[in-house]
Chains A and B, each alone.
Chain A
């Protein structure tokens, strides 16, 4: 059975367990909540997936989300225009992404170090400018992005589906997408076969940054406020989602659909813990075990495939 199928099975299993444990789980309202909560993680994880596909890593996504959200918030307040604010947030995200890309391709820094250094610098700038304050109170039209509905679905969920479709088409059916997989599988071979590796790498980091910026805007709309540290708790869940979803850190294999499943699994666990009023203390343990299970299944599947070949 393909690893994607295994994961889908895992999601179904979780749903069955939760339905049996809590009468509130299998309701439209709750399921929409779960999807909406998962979409916030997925938006950030989608850009990260592209980066990891290229055998890279982006540790700055949480910091990026925070700064982009705060900048968007400040601009909306200053100019009164939602559009300009959104533009500023996306622009901020992309800029950080481009800088990451340049550090990695031009200055040849390992992605771990480059994005880790960027993480600290972005937080530094964010804490300095926000000075521990919160920016809050936004127009209702803007807040619709986070809490509104369209066609019966929460808007963040629609954004998630849109990102999934666009991203999947990009990775599977465009040349650029194929090139990214190739770079992840073996960057040297890719370069030798004529792929402009540097340009593609800058592209993936820019996209990761842009998605962090977008996620920041959605967060801002959902929370109706911006603080410097809102992205901090998101880094590990985002990485976990991508990995649980089956994308390999070595690059070259994985998918956005997998990242979505990963995000859903993590959110289901949290949702279940709330519905069953289980203490938050158990969450890291459960998340860790799920991660190990998913990786174990992947590794076993890979070995089995290798032994068959």
Chain B
């Protein structure tokens, strides 16, 4: 069952403090253009962090998301550069992502490999294919359709943020208002009960990883639009950021205890921190140290509150 008995979680306080701090000390941090930037900059990460929440809730992990995003982006860009229509290229990118997600799911659920290893291996495979296809170079010449869509606004809201909002709404509905969502909670919390009830838990478990791959493909759509090129290694490390956002947002690595809104807060906190530090022109090395502190402080808050 969805665990809704939460007081205001630590991450919300942290987020509020950061927003107040940067608004006070950072010129034009709280201006509309900057807030929109934060939304844009965070949207791709949210697309990855949403399925990652589900995956972590089932006591899993997907380290291949960044590499799969890169590969999907490369496929997308190559097809566009070759003159294919955008819908078809997008379908291919989503397909590639889903395929890798399925592969992860099969390795982990059907074969029983530990998620860390399986997805780390798939990271190498996806990365390798992307590098081999492009010789490490960017893929340009994708035309203006995709960048145009990325730059478009829908009722004043930038496309990327719209996509992120839609994605969140979909996942929220999926997790908290459908049977599938109940299964997700159960797979992490009490798998046996699910199996006893006759539900093919394995199928849904694989589905979760496949969704992760699909979202990596969606992320590739946005990222390629943002850069106007496809690049094999542009998203390297993003999966780590996603894991951190999910955990900082309150989902635990064990015990199937997940909170989707927390993931959004986690993604925003990281995005606001990075943006705020830039707006305040903090030296890069201090920025790096601050990110580390943020991660630790966020978890600390949670663990302190739990004990009290």
Contacts and interface: CB of A to CB of B under 8 A. Distances in A.
On whether A and B touch (CB less than 8 Å), the answer reads yes
Interface of A: 103, 107-110, 112-114, 116-128, 236, 239-240, 243, 248-250, 279, 281-289, 291-292, 295-296, 299, 302-303
B133 to A, nearest CB: 9
Interface residues of B, number: 46
15 contacts: A107-B300, A110-B247, A113-B244, A116-B240, A117-B292, A120-B292, A124-B286, A239-B120, A284-B124, A284-B131, A285-B125, A288-B122, A288-B127, A291-B121, A295-B113
B89 interface: no
Contact of A288 (B121, B243, B283, B285): B121
Given A120-B291, A285-B131, 10 more contacts: A112-B247, A113-B296, A121-B288, A127-B288, A240-B120, A249-B114, A281-B131, A281-B132, A291-B117, A296-B111
B293 interface: yes
B289 interface: yes
B123 interface: yes
Given A243-B120, A250-B114, A292-B107, A128 B289 contact: yes
A109 B118 contact: no
Nearest to B112: A299
B292 A128 contact: no
Given A121-B289, A284-B127, A248 B303 contact: no
The main secondary structure of chain A at its interface with chain B is: helix
A288 B125 contact: yes
A200 to B, nearest CB: 20
A127 B296 contact: no
A292 B286 contact: no
B299 A128 contact: no
Nearest to B123: A288
Contacts of B26: none
> Considering residues B120, B123, B287, B291, which has the most beta carbons from chain A within 10 angstroms of its beta carbon?
B120
B129 A128 contact: no
B3 interface: no
Interface of B: 107, 111-114, 116-118, 120-129, 131-132, 135-136, 240, 243-244, 247-248, 252-253, 283-296, 299-300, 303
A291 B111 CA distance: 15
B121 A125 contact: no
B229 to A, nearest CB: 18
Contacts of A125: 285, 289
A118 B292 contact: yes
A46 B117 CA distance: 18
Given A124-B286, A288-B122, A113 B299 contact: yes
Contacts of B252: 110
Contacts of A286: 124, 128
A299 B122 contact: no
The 5 tightest CB contacts between A and B, nearest first, are A288-B124, A285-B128, A124-B289, A120-B292, A121-B292
B295 A117 contact: yes
Contacts of B118: 292, 295
Given A113-B299, A243-B117, A292 B293 contact: no
Contact of B124 (A119, A126, A287): A287
Contacts of A248: 114
A127 B285 CA distance: 5
Given A109-B300, A124-B288, A292 B122 contact: yes
A284 B70 CA distance: 14
Contacts of B116: 243, 249
Contacts of B123: 284, 288
B192 to A, nearest CB: 17
B292 A124 contact: yes
Contacts of B292: 116-124
Nearest to A123: B288
Contacts of B121: 288-289, 291-292, 295
B298 to A, nearest CB: 9
A251 B132 CA distance: 35
B287 A124 contact: yes
